[in-house]
A and B are shown apart, each in its own frame.
Chain A
């Protein structure tokens, strides 16, 4: 990437920190806990920032009811100063590491501790709020695009990497699809790294925006997979042999039984899907016009006269 002006690349990592899943995980496999996962993610983040001086990073943690920005954090610098380079108040690390990286690691660790200890558990849902975090990520990317365009006159490319652990939440389907279409319009890739169970929503997101979807067979090797598969950016991906695209199940569920169907009936007013014909749509309560078969005129048959 030679040239006078480097391109600005922003990588936003959305981490799923569902306490229930991580708690169960700590009992299933003590070698891979949340802190190990965070280490692997920060290795990836550091590598991204170390590739070029103009690469930037943001980390969001996705919890039950809320999502928090772990880095850059407004409590620390009081604004979006992390990307302006105001390092005067940064805690001094002392081991000769590149300051930006050590600052990022410390801030992420501190904020993660704060988030996990202070967030209260309300309600009894066990799924994480991915649509909300993605929406915040998109708004943050947009703000940075505007800021860099006006200050430095450069275009900014960005992508989002989602690290998912718990199950999908069916209730956030519509918000999720809205977020995916908004990302596609802004040309923002969404990559997905799935640790436990396959997620249909993320498969659709990666297919629509053009990102990569990968389900990791061995969780301990998370750092390896992140660095080999997800670190290269969009221009370098065609030159590598990456995991093949998965077969996305685009079948929709019918509104009456929640079965996956291939052929169904769609209401022309509210676009709800049914598996059988019914005279009234249950969602919008419109009566449908039923096409009656046409009456055929019976032909008079001539009686054969027996001779």
Chain B
């Protein structure tokens, strides 16, 4: 386990003179420097792109949330557990927005045991309801890393080979109580190609370092709440696929929604839940066996066909065809009085962005919007169309 050289720790390096970054202008104000720093941090996220790497689109992700005694610590407001649960709700929504055909499951660990909060499912409603209910839970005892990883592994090892199997652990305690040797479990996880990442809330723990290094995940310790959010949102993007993962053709059925159906049918998905009323008017019918389901994407319980709708697949297309980053040009190089091609606003910033393909000029806000949400250049659509 110790063959790879350890990373140099931060205190072993030289001193970092952080006070030299801030420079005052002639009036003594720091406004320009602060704006510059904010601007750089906004751009940093937009510039990371995987290029031509194959991404794992269909993901099965388990999130393990530590619910032990240390989560009652109040260094994150109001306490660590509530802050984590709130960020998890945002994470679940964002996750299903970026990966519509993937699934997520939740596990909590406390009192030396691990418990599944929700099963792996493709629809966010159940997860959000479970997260809201978990806010009132008490934090007792010690977490068990072995038990939670084992529980996740039991389900993940049956998943088909073309999907990516991931576990994200939010670990705040410095200790763990395991019934068996965790290094054996790490070997098993590695052989099953399960990628484990850890987000630490207290300090770096050696066993987590080894775990993430062996399975190919990432390990970060959060500094404050915004850093925690950033680390969590990092896992929303699809990771590069393993070289050994199999590619296969998946049989899927495409469903159209039928509104106001004439007969009330008992929906298949309601057979399991006891809290909802069993009858509903509209729904989705499986094209193979015509069983009725209330939500998509789902696997039909009768015939086993995966059911999706076309927008679900279309949402993932922007990962496959990512937009190139725009070139930065200073405003002085352009002829005076130019307007942003997208929003028609006057260009006031010092730096403007030019698309390398169509030479369209955009302001900072439009550039951020184009790269974050739109994923296509408005002027390029015009030039593509005329060809």
Q: Residues of A with Cβ closer than 8 Å to B?
A: 64-67, 69, 74, 78-80, 122-123, 125, 129, 131-132, 135-136, 138-140, 142-143, 146, 169, 171-172, 174-175, 177-179, 181-182, 185-186, 204, 208, 245, 247-252, 261-271, 273-274, 277-278, 281, 286-289, 291
Contact = CB atoms under 8 A, between A and B. Distances in A.
A278 B247 CA distance: 13
B294 interface: no
A289 B247 contact: yes
Contact of A129 (B249, B344, B381): B381
A245 B257 CA distance: 11
Interface stretch (B37-45, B111-119, B177-185, B313-321): B313-321
A182 B252 contact: no
A186 B314 CA distance: 18
B162 A268 contact: yes
A266 B376 CA distance: 24
8 contacts: A138-B374, A171-B384, A178-B317, A182-B373, A252-B313, A264-B254, A267-B247, A278-B249
Given A268-B58, A268-B248, 14 more contacts: A65-B385, A131-B376, A131-B381, A146-B365, A169-B385, A171-B384, A174-B376, A248-B257, A263-B253, A263-B287, A268-B163, A268-B250, A281-B247, A289-B246
Interface in B323-382: 337, 339-346, 365-366, 369-370, 373-376, 378-379, 381-382
Contacts of B314: 174, 177, 181
B169 interface: no
A196 B375 CA distance: 30
A162 to B, nearest CB: 15
A231 B320 CA distance: 39
A139 B317 contact: no
B251 A269 contact: no
Contacts of B365: 142-143, 146
Nearest to B314: A177
B248 A289 contact: yes
B382 A129 contact: yes
B256 A251 contact: yes
B254 A179 contact: no
Nearest to A169: B385
Interface stretch (B6-14, B127-135, B303-311): B303-311
Nearest to B251: A265
Contacts of A138: 369, 374
B343 A136 contact: yes
Contacts of B256: 247-251
7 residue pairs, one from A and one from B, having the closest CB atoms: A139-B342, A143-B343, A135-B378, A268-B162, A262-B287, A265-B249, A139-B343
Interface in B157-183: 161-163
A157 to B, nearest CB: 18
Given A182-B374, A266-B313, A79 B342 contact: no
Nearest to B366: A139
B54 interface: yes
A79 B346 contact: yes
Nearest to B323: A178
A136 B318 CA distance: 19
Contacts of A265: 249-252
Nearest to A78: B337
A174 B375 CA distance: 10
B249 A288 contact: yes
Contacts of A79: 346
Contacts of B137: none
B226 interface: no
B113 to A, nearest CB: 35
B259 interface: yes
A122 B253 CA distance: 41
A263 B254 CA distance: 6
B382 to A, nearest CB: 5
B311 A208 contact: yes
A28 to B, nearest CB: 26
A104 to B, nearest CB: 16
Contacts of A264: 251-254
B387 interface: yes
Contacts of B188: none
Contacts of A178: 317-318, 374-376
Contacts of A175: 376, 381
A148 to B, nearest CB: 13
A140 B342 contact: yes
Given A122-B386, A123-B386, A140-B342, A250 B288 contact: no
Nearest to A274: B249
A267 B320 CA distance: 13
A254 to B, nearest CB: 10
Nearest to A123: B386
Nearest to B55: A269
